Amino acid sequence: MKFIKAIAFTFILSLFSGSLIAKVKLASPFGDHMVLQRNTLVPIWGTASPGEKINLMFKNQKRTIIADDKGSWKTNLNKLKAGGPYTLIISGENTITLNDIYVGEVWICSGQSNLVPFAIRGALWYQGESNSPTASIYKDLMETLITDWRNQWGQGNFPFIYVQLANIGKAVETIPAKGGAEAIKREAQLQNLSVPNTEMVVAIDNADPTNQANIHQKNKQEIGRRLALAARNIVYGEKTTFSGPIYDKMKIEGNSIRLLFKHTDGGLTAKDNQLKGFAIAGKDMKFVWANASIEGKTIRVTSSEIENPVAVRYGWGSNPPTSLYNMANLPASPFRTDTDN
């Protein structure tokens, strides 16, 4: 009886010790049907038993890696040309086979830190709704984020394309150029265009029509289209109109102010043939609703209440009236010509 118990104990112990051998695993970003970034080193990483020998094979590339004392391993594939489908095989104590892998373009869409250092082409970002308490420093926060991501990925100044915050809240704003945290954050995002290799997509016309307090707008397809236009232009060199009008400078002309814009491709136009959302002020900086008219690729703004205007604001609120587009049907970014908060 004791002999039988001893055999049983030995068998259980052997099962337990066998379970201590860690299987070779790939990190979570890797799986069937994935896309690997072309024309750059491609990191592949995962875990195994400490000191375990791992063999990797992809196309005509082979690697042998030894897991470190913590069981982590990592290697790089040489630059790959676009193509597929391919198979990735990882073998050690066990074998992993990933199928239907393509090589092409990889974009991180508001990704998480666990995707570092997955090889990418660029990043698409749409966040910021909860940053109202820190609106005054949002420009610096955003710039720090972009710099940090680029440092962590180690792929240089990869393209970073982000979405300016959409309109939100009550659609009727009776106070001209009301301002607030949303307006300040949108301005900060506009200023972040000074960071090299960035681009911004405007979404001031994309509120949920059935619930304008909803920060999760329903028409994500249009935002995706605008992001794709930006990527196709600044990354892939396609000569497309990818941005709506962006305020450039102003000229005071008597009792009116003339506004000049970038990205007026094809000219300017007003939705429903009526320019809305412009406010004008004199030196007291008390804004009133203004009359605005399109003159070529410029806009002239005036008001009978302001004899000597000094500043104009457009779309300056949480959910302001807006109607300015270019002929590519892309909306203008909200802006102010003054720097007074």
Say if residue 211's pLDDT is above 80.
Answer: no
Most confident of 16-25, 122-131, 206-215: 122-131
pLDDT in tens, 146-155: 999 999 999 9
Weakest-pLDDT range from 3-17, 190-204, 211-225? 3-17
pLDDT for 17: 42
pLDDT for 172: 63
Location of structure tokens 């900086």: 285
Mean of the per-residue pLDDT values for the chain?
Answer: 88
Percent of residues, the chain, with pLDDT higher than 70: 86
44: left (phi over 0), alpha (psi -120 to 50) or beta: beta
pLDDT for 13: 40
The single-letter code of the amino acid at 224 is G
In angstroms, how far is the first alpha carbon of the chain from the final one? 88
Q: Please give the helix or strand (H or E) that residue 269 lies within, else none.
A: strand 268-270
Most confident of 26-30, 48-52, 106-110: 48-52
Q: How confident is the model at residue 175 (pLDDT cuts 50, 70, 90)?
A: confident
Contact 289, 303 (CB under 8 A): yes
Reported as half-sphere exposure (CB side, CA atoms, 13 A), residue 320 has a value of: 32
pLDDT for 3: 41
pLDDT in tens, 2-35: 444 444 434 444 444 444 567 999 998 899 999 9
CA distances, 44 to each of 38, 48, 88, 162 (Å) = 14, 13, 10, 27
pLDDT for 220: 80
Integer Cα distance of 162 and 270 in angstroms: 25
Reported as half-sphere exposure (CB side, CA atoms, 13 A), residue 323 has a value of: 16
Q: Where are the alpha helices (DSSP H) in 176-321?
A: 181-191, 220-234
Question: Would you tell me the crossing angle of helices 181-191 and 138-153 to the nearest 10 degrees?
Answer: 40
Extract the tokens encoding 312. Answer: 């104009």
pLDDT in tens, 69-90: 999 999 999 999 999 999 999 9
CATH superfamily of 107-234: SGNH hydrolase (3.40.50.1110)
pLDDT for 130: 53
Say if residue 197's pLDDT is above 90.
Answer: yes
Contact 46, 90 (CB under 8 A): yes
Percent of residues, the chain, with pLDDT higher than 90: 69
What residue segments make up the domains of the chain, in order of their start?
Answer: 20-104, 107-234, 246-336
Integer Cα distance of 284 and 202 in angstroms: 30
Integer Cα distance of 150 and 159 in angstroms: 9
115 vs 166, which has greater pLDDT? 166
Looking at domain 20-104, its CATH class is mainly beta
